[in-house]
Amino acid sequence: MLAGKNVVLGVTGGIAAYKAAELVRLLVKEDATVDVIMTRNAAEFIAPLTFQTLSNRVVHVETFKLLVTSDISHTTLADRADLIIVAPATANFIGKFANGVADDMLTTTLLATLAPVLVAPAMNPKMWAHPAVLENVARLAARGVDFIGPEEGEVACKDIGRGRMSEPADILEAAEGVLTPPRLRGKRLVVTAGPTREPLDPVRFISNRSSGRMGYALARAARLMGAEVVLVSGPTALVPPRDVEVMSVETALEMQKAVKSAFAKADALIMAAAVADFRPAAPKDAKAPKDEYGDQLALARNPDIIAGLAKSKGKKLVVGFAAETGEADAKAAAKLKRKGLSAIVVNDVSEPGIGFESEDNEVRILFADGRSLSLARMAKADLAFEILMALFS
C-alpha cells in the first residue's frame, strides 16, 4: 500500500519524537518517499540530521527559511502528499490543527492539503484527558482526521495512564489502513489460520507444517479493508494483526467450536487453517513411558469443520483452501463440490518456494459457479488483498 507513495511525516515537540525516527525507517523500508517536517520544538528533542539521514531527503523545519533556500513550498508538499502522518502530535499541535492555525511549516501544510491525515498523539495522560484536548480531537475526527493511540502505559514523566505514542510498527499499520480502500467495511469475517495440534498426552502431539502466514495475512488484509475480523488461530509463531479479535485454539474440536460461534455472527468464513484430519483416539492425561503407547496409534477422524458449516451457509460466503500436489485443480474442484463451498483457493505445494512455510504463494480460485481466477506468485501479504478482492468483487 505504501510503496511509491509520498508520505509527509510531521514531528512535533515531545519526547516521543525519537520514536518518529524508527517510523521513517519503516516507511522507507516499505518504499515510500518520506518528507519530514519538524516543528522548532521537535528539533530540540531530536536532530533534523537524524531524519535527513533516514529519509535521504531534506528535512523541513521553518517555513520562511525554507522559502528562501529551496524551491519546495508548503503547498508543494501539501499537493504531493498521498498521506500526512503527525507523530508524535502534542496537545499544542492538536489545538492548533483543530482551530486552523497555520503558524509554521507543518500546520500550514496541513491547511493546504487534501491528503488523508493520520495523527498519533503523545502527551501526559492528564493533558490527554483535558476537555480542551478531547474537544479538539473530536473536532478533527469529525473532519475526517484519523487517530491512532495514545496507548495506556507509563509516559516519560513516569505518570501512568493513556498518553504514550503508539509504537512505530502500529502507526505504519494504521497508515496502510488509511490508504486502503474500505472495500469490506460493514462486513464481519471469520478467518482460520495455522495448524491444529492433536495431543497424544500433555507433551506429545500430532500436527502439520502450516505456518499460519496465509491466514494471518488474510485477517490483516480484511481488517485493513475495513472488515471486522475474528481470527481463529491454531498454534503459530506469528504476531496477530492489530484490531483483530483472536480466538486461540489447539485442537480441531476446539477450532470447530470457536468457528461455529464466530460464524453465527459473520458474513463470511475463510478457512485457511490446516486442520488435522485425525486425532489420537485416546489421549492420555499424563505423560507415560513409551512402552505404554505400543507401536500402533489408534486415531479418530476429526469433523470436517467447513463442510459442516457450509451446509447451512445460506447467503454467507464459505471459502476453503486446498494445498495439493499434482492435479491440484481437479482435486480442489472435487473438494469444493463435496464440501458445498462458495469458492476454494488452491495451490500446488509441490512447486518449490510456495505454500507451506513459505513467504510466497501462487494460487487459483475456483468458484462454485464454475468461474476460476489465477493469481500470480507473490508475497502472501500482498496475495491476501488480491484474494479478498476476488472473493468480494
Note the residues at the interface with ligand CTP (CB under 6 A). 252, 271, 273, 275, 277, 302, 304-306, 320-322, 335
- Tell me how far, at minimum, the Cβ of 322 lies from ligand CTP, in Å: 4
Which of 275, 333 has the CB closer to ligand CTP?
275
- Tell me how far, at minimum, the Cβ of 332 lies from ligand CTP, in Å: 8
352 catalytic residue (yes or no): no
CA angle 140, 33, 216 (to 5 degrees): 75
Q: How far is CA 162 from the centre of its chain?
A: 23
Which of 182, 303 has the CB closer to ligand CTP?
303
Between the alpha carbon of residue 6 and those of residues 32, 55, 81, 319, 327, the distances in Å are: 6, 12, 5, 36, 44
Which of 1, 384 has the CB closer to ligand CTP?
384
DSSP 201: S
Which of 277, 329 has the CB closer to ligand CTP?
277
- Tell me how far, at minimum, the Cβ of 270 lies from ligand CTP, in Å: 8
Q: How far is CA 289 from the centre of its chain?
A: 44
Q: How far is CA 87 from the centre of its chain?
A: 19
- Tell me how far, at minimum, the Cβ of 210 lies from ligand CTP, in Å: 9
- Tell me how far, at minimum, the Cβ of 330 lies from ligand CTP, in Å: 12
Structural contact between residues 256 and 305, judged by C-beta atoms closer than 8 angstroms? yes
DSSP 199: E
**Grid coordinates of 352:** 518449490
Query: In whole angstroms, what is the distance from residue 379 CA to residue 356 CA?
Result: 13
Which entry of 157, 281, 297, 334 is annotated as an active-site residue? Answer: 157
CA angle 194, 200, 206 (to 5 degrees): 35
Query: In whole angstroms, what is the distance from residue 218 CA to residue 167 CA?
Result: 22
| Extended strands (E) in 262-342 | 268-271, 278-280, 299-301, 317-324
Which of 227, 305 has the CB closer to ligand CTP?
305
- Tell me how far, at minimum, the Cβ of 252 lies from ligand CTP, in Å: 6
Q: Terminus-to-terminus CA distance in the chain, angstroms?
A: 19
**Grid coordinates of 72:** 519546495
Which of 98, 306 has the CB closer to ligand CTP?
306
Query: In whole angstroms, what is the distance from residue 73 CA to residue 52 CA?
Result: 18
Active site residues: 157
